[in-house]
Structure 1
Amino acid sequence: MESGNQTGIRNFLLLGFTEDPDLQPLLFGLFLSMYLVTFTGNLAIILAVISDSHLHNPMYFFLSNLSFADICFTSTTVPKMLWNIQKQNQVITYAGCLSQVFFFILFACLDNLLLTVMAYDRFVAICHPLHYMVIMSPRVCGLLALGSWCLSVTASLPETLTILRLSFCRSMKIPQSFCDLPEILKLACSDTLINHTVVYFMTITLGVFPLSGILFSYYQISSSILRMSSVSSRYKAFSTCGSHFTVVSLFYGTGLGVYLSSAVTSSSRTSLVASVLYTTVTPMLNPFIYSLRSRDMKGALVRLISRAPSLMHRAFGGLS
């Protein structure tokens, strides 16, 4: 490989899973199906929360924000992957790669922060139920959601902008299906100390600290539940936290799997599979977890589906 600053090169190559043309239709169908399920499932949750007055409370307000973040998170990587598979073209432009890095980090951080806020919401609801409506007022909920967005943008900008100072070698091949920041930094010919410092700082600030907050919240929640004398009260408290705890475990489990697999093994194939679980499978499963474990959500989705034909008739009838 010839090193040196190749300023004329402005494209990266996303190697993806395989170059075998016989497997391309299978991969295209698989990821298209997963993307449609993710988009439809999360959109259904958003519409259910908006349309059903029974779900107008802080828990489902944050859930609708999480569903929107999951749609955007998946849309950052999968459509480009599908386009490359369909066209049998591995190229992504330099600007397109930077954009993908920015939005990928933004929505990954947003997912993380929203899960933290949702853990705090469950902590207040179970440990301080008498003050719940005062503490989690609509104004506070709005500020928490807005703060999550602002912090996510703040984290994404420096990690993306510091890439602009790098020069790259002639090999611009990324062994991933999207522009993954650690893989991009491996291709740089110039010093990446600043980049890695920014990445580690943001990971600790918006990764380790929120996770610590979630664990502390669930420690307090568990202690409060165990002190309850009524078995039915314990069951109700556990059921309200079950969906969120499952999503948290899935999110952090797959996320840690991505980075541990890349640190422990040099196999790009293992890292690629772990990344798919993190970026595609987790957002797809979240709607199922919440809809299956929440009676209120199941009822709202049933009512939404039952109203769908009349709403479509009104919409298309008005156009005719």
Structure 2
Amino acid sequence: MKIDNVLAGAIPEPRGRDGLVLAVLLARQAQARLTVATIQPPVWTAPGPARADQSAWSAYLREQAAATLAQARQLAGDDADCVAQTHRGSGRGLVDLARKLGADVVVIGSAPRGGKGRISVGSTADQLLHSSSVPVLLAPKGYAEAPPPAFARVTLAYRRGRCADAAVKEAAQAAVSLDVPLRLVTLVLSSGRRARIERDMLLRLREQAAADLKAVARGQRRRVQVELEVLEGRNVGHAMSTTQWQPGELIVCASSGTGPLRRVFLGDTSIKIVQAAIRPVMILTRQV
């Protein structure tokens, strides 16, 4: 994927700052244009005495949008474009704005209920992760408190399937844009029992996973430095905990192959990766 135009959703809360800091880091390293947007609910017009209340509410929304964008500009700098958009849903508003601006990625923070350093999917992310026509990048809670100085590596969670090759190409292009290595990891899950039949099965799974990674890496090594790793665990979270994640890591996942074409659609495995991740996660659109 190309990273020439980054769209960040802004809200007057700490989680909004997490997403904005991540978006600024991405735009600066990729030398991309950055647009910061706040999505405001519409004001419904009605005749009679209620009109005065609606006028006051409209003025309040304008003040909120101006204050939110002023705070965002302090972080993003004067080079960022700041816009206010009206929509009934914040996620859908960002989807529409991304389409209008020709954005390459939408960046937001985690929902407030998640633990520090983790990603929780709220209503805005849920709308984006089931309808966005561009990749969606999620910042863990508290990311803005100690952000890395730069991205150091792109890691793609690889899973053999019809969407896999397209995802590898997209992740490789992102790594080239950021001038960092690409790591391809695949997850091998086991029940934790060590019966002989299961040991034999796990051995075959590891060998197949390693062979898959080597095969898919061949076409990318001329473009970017590629690392390969097989992660094994009882479940997705355990498998992901068995490797080292650099402070400047960017995790990339493919959308589900059952979702609509050229849209983000979070599948079961990707949901578990997002929930287990301790670094920002980008969900790609389905390409095939």
TM range (shorter): under 0.3
User: Bigger relative contact order, structure 1 or 2, given CA contacts below 8 A and separation 6+?
Assistant: 1
Larger Rg belongs to: 1
Q: Which structure shows the bigger proportion of residues in strand conformation?
A: 2
Relative to its length, the structure with more helix (as a share) is 1
Report the TM-score, using the length of structure 2 for normalisation. Answer: 0.24
Superposition TM-score, scaled by structure 1 size: 0.23
